[in-house]
């Protein structure tokens, strides 16, 4: 079950992080080294493989939100670092690469995401394509720094000039020659990484827990290959890149707490346990639970608000709800009562929710 991340500090859902350095990793990929102010440092502890949600100025004059994976490791003492690769026609990636400079400040939500190993001591198989190396590198560095297992990384790129973190990967293999194997796959030499072509490279590691990130077709090919080699589906983890269509930083207008007015017709009442406190809120029919909590001033965790990242995961302990969208939770999670607060709407008059 994905472990939900805690929400931002009380009174502030977002935090301003200073850009202390911009690193040109390749011709079209930049890393931003970030520093949180002292009062926000605790909100930016994270697990390897997680991401940050950045608030950017929107093309229409409003605000835009983009999620970028952390390439840094929480176990090596290095500062926060996200890496952004230009996407043709992509507003957010091009704005970051063209406009962000050292000394700028960015408004950021705390780390989120479930693309992270439960055991950094285990042997791992990592498969990345292009900028998909970003969370994968975080996992690799963390496993090498704190664990004792072996790590095999297959990294696919168009050609040698598009290999992000080339020097860092080389240094890691030199520092851990008995534990880290990096297999570079260059389409200019080996063709597209189709399932049948990947089999020989991945077969020796198919029994390991696998983490796959990159373009959709590459992830499909890697998963198809691993399943054909006998890898169980629950040991293959994929990280999805997604663009946010709305402003996740927009907070609904304050709403009255339960007891301050009559229940809304067709709505419900929810008792929500979060951080040791129980909040009772009116829950109008058709309104996502997260919106109701934020409007009531409850500092509930969230990131994408589009059912794609699991940062707002909670569990139903009484009553029933349904989800409007779910791209993250599997059937087992749902069977155990887990839901996404940003997509959950009530089906019964009384609902009990816990974030523990």
Query: What torsion, rounded to 10 degrees, do the Cα atoms 221, 224, 230, 233 define?
Result: 110
Q: Are residues 101 and 132 in the same domain?
A: no
- Asked which of 111, 143, 176 is the last residue of a domain, the reply is 111
CA distance linking residue 223 with residue 262, whole number of Å: 52
Could you tell me if 105 and 135 lie in one domain? no
Listed in sequence order, the residues at least 6 apart from 309 whose beta carbon sits closer than 8 Å to its beta carbon are: 51, 67, 112, 113, 114, 242, 303, 328
pLDDT at 250: 63
Residue 101 burial (10 A CB sphere; 0-12, 13-18, 19+): exposed
Classify the C-alpha dihedral 129-131-132-133 as positive or negative: positive
Q: For the chain, first and last CA: distance in Å?
A: 12
How big is the CA angle at 77 (ends 74 and 79), to the nearest 5 degrees?
80
Q: Kindly state whether residue 1 falls inside one of the protein's structural domains.
A: no
**Neighbouring-strand partners of residue 239:** 213
Task: Tell me the whole-structure pTM to 2 decimals.
Answer: 0.80
Same domain, 138 and 86: no
Q: What is the pLDDT of residues 35-63, one digit of tens each?
A: 999 998 888 999 999 999 899 988 777 78
Structural domain includes residue 263: no
Tell me how many domains the chain contains.
Answer: 3
Last residue of a domain, one of 111, 144, 161: 111
Is the same domain home to 107 and 129? no
Q: Which residue has the higher pLDDT, 83 or 305?
A: 83
Contact 92, 243 (CB under 8 A): yes
Higher pLDDT: 218 or 2? It is 218
Query: Do 235 and 150 share a structural domain?
Result: yes
- pLDDT of 63 reads 80
Do the domain assignments include residue 5? no
Domain, as residue range, for 299: 268-354
CATH of the domain at 179: 3.40.50.80
Same domain, 229 and 131: yes
**The token pair that represents 12 in the structure block:** 């502030």
**Euclidean distance between CA atoms 104 and 94, whole angstroms:** 16
- Range name among 26-40, 52-66, 133-147, 163-177 with the lowest pLDDT average: 52-66
Rounded Cα distance, 251 and 232, in Å: 41
Q: Which residues pair with 303 in a beta bridge?
A: none
Cα distance between residue 32 and residue 83, in whole Å: 6
Q: For residue 275, tell me if it sits in a domain.
A: yes
If asked whether residues 331 and 230 sit together in one domain, one would say no
Considering the domain boundaries, does residue 323 fall inside one?
yes
Residue 228 and residue 188 in one domain: yes
Is 249 within the bounds of a domain? no
Kindly tell me if the per-residue pLDDT of 327 is higher than 60. Answer: yes
Judged against a pLDDT cut of 80, whether residue 242 lies above it is answered with no
How confident is the model at residue 11, as a pLDDT?
37
255-266 average pLDDT score: 45
Q: Which of 111, 132, 164 is the last residue of a domain?
A: 111
């Amino acid at each position: 079950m994905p472990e939900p991340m805690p929400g931002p500090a009380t009174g502030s859902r977002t935090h301003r992080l200073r850009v202390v350095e911009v690193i040109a990793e390749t011709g079209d990929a930049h890393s931003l080294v970030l520093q949180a102010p002292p009062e926000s440092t605790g909100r930016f502890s994270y697990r390897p493989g997680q991401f940050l949600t950045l608030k950017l100025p929107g093309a229409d004059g409003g605000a835009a939100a983009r999620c970028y994976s952390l390439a840094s490791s929480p176990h090596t003492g290095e500062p926060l670092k996200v890496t952004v690769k230009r996407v043709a026609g992509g507003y957010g990636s091009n704005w970051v690469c063209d406009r962000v400079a050292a000394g700028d400040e960015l408004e950021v939500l705390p780390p989120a995401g479930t693309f992270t190993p439960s055991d950094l001591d285990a042997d791992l198989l990592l498969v990345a394509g292009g900028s998909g190396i970003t969370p994968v590198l975080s996992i690799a560095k963390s496993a090498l720094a704190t664990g004792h297992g072996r790590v095999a990384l297959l990294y696919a790129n168009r050609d040698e000039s598009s290999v992000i973190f080339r020097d860092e990967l080389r240094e890691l293999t030199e520092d851990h020659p008995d534990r880290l194997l990096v297999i570079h796959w260059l389409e200019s030499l080996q063709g597209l990484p189709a399932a049948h072509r990947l089999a020989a490279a991945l077969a020796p590691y198919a029994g390991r827990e696998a983490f796959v990130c990159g373009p959709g077709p590459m992830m499909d090919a890697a998963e198809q290959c691993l399943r054909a080699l006998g890898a169980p589906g629950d040991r293959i983890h994929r990280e999805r890149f997604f663009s946010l269509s709305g402003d996740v930083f927009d907070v609904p207008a304050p709403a009255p707490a339960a007891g301050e007015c009559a229940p809304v017709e067709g709505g419900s009442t929810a008792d929500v346990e979060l951080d040791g406190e129980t909040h009772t809120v009116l829950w109008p029919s058709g309104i996502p639970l997260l919106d109701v909590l934020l409007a009531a001033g409850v500092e509930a965790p969230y990131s994408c608000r589009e059912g794609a990242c699991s940062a707002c995961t909670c569990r139903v302990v009484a009553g029933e709800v349904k989800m409007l969208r779910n791209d993250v939770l599997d059937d087992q999670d749902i069977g155990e009562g887990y839901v996404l607060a940003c997509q959950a709407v009530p089906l019964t008059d009384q609902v009990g929710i816990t974030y523990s």
